[in-house]
A and B are shown apart, each in its own frame.
Chain A
Amino acid sequence: MYAGHVGFALGASSLRRRVPLLLLLIAAELPDWLDVGVCSLDMDRGPFGLYTHGLPVIGALALTLAFVYVATKRDYFGAFVVALTVASHYGLDFLTGIKPTWLGGPVVGLELYNRPFVEVTLEVITIVVGWWLYRRTFPEERRSTWPMYAILISLLVLQAVGAAAFYLNVGGQMKC
Chain B
Amino acid sequence: MPPILDPLADLVRGIPPNLKLAIALALPVIAVVWCDRLLRQMVRRDVVRERINVAAIHALAAQARRSEQLSEELSEPHSEPRSGQRSDQSPG
Contacts and interface: CB of A to CB of B under 8 A. Distances in A.
| Chain A interface mostly | helix
Report, as a range, how many residues of chain B touch the other chain: 20 to 34
Contacts of B2: 168
Contacts, number: 96
Interface string B8-44: 1100110101101110110111011101101100110
Contacts of B8: 170-171
Contacts of A158: 27-28, 31
Given A150-B35, A170-B1, A171-B12, A3 B18 contact: no
Contacts of A145: 39, 42
B37 to A, nearest CB: 9
Interface string A21-47: 110011001001101100110000000
Size bracket, chain A contacts: 35 or more
A151 B38 CA distance: 11
A174 B1 contact: no
B68 interface: no
23 contacts: A3-B28, A25-B28, A25-B29, A32-B25, A36-B21, A40-B18, A142-B42, A142-B43, A147-B35, A150-B35, A151-B31, A151-B32, A158-B28, A165-B12, A168-B1, A168-B2, A170-B1, A170-B5, A170-B9, A171-B12, A172-B12, A174-B20, A174-B21
